[in-house]
Amino acid sequence: MDVSIASWLVIAVALAFANLPFVNDAIFGVVPYRGGRRKPFPLRFVELIVLYFIVGAIAYGLEARIGNVFMQTWEFYAITGCLFLVLAFPGFVVRYLRKQRP
């Protein structure tokens, strides 16, 4: 796989996974939530953190397949965590900030 294709694949997967907790009320988009009408925000946030690490594992696997894996420090994880939160913003807006019609 080409480096460019792998990079765009990771970005697309990150965008999809970042918005997944906000577009539906199922846990990880698969398991139905039975604790009430809607998933609470803390559960959505925990899902977001778990999905961040899943995207990181996918990116690590693609990087290992392409060539040498580079050592990452805390700055890398801080930046990618913030980027993942920015990618989750459209789903957050649709779920919490858009006016709901009755």
Q: pLDDT of the chain along its 102 residues, tens only?
A: 788 898 999 999 999 999 999 988 888 888 888 877 788 889 999 999 999 999 999 999 999 998 888 889 999 999 999 999 999 999 999 888 877 776
- 73 within some domain: yes
| Confidence (pLDDT) at 82 | 96
Report which DSSP code applies to 26: E
| Confidence (pLDDT) at 102 | 63
- 11 within some domain: yes
What are the backbone dihedrals phi and psi of residue 26, each rounded to the nearest 5 degrees, phi first? -90, 150
- 102 within some domain: no
Structural domain total, the chain: 1
Question: 0.85 exceeded by the pTM?
Answer: yes
Nearest Cα to Cα of residue 6 among 57, 66, 70: 66
What are the backbone dihedrals phi and psi of residue 27, each rounded to the nearest 5 degrees, phi first? -75, 125
Q: Is the dihedral of CA 39, 41, 45, 51 positive or negative?
A: positive
Whose tokens are 């988009």? That residue is 29
Domain that holds residue 66: 3-97
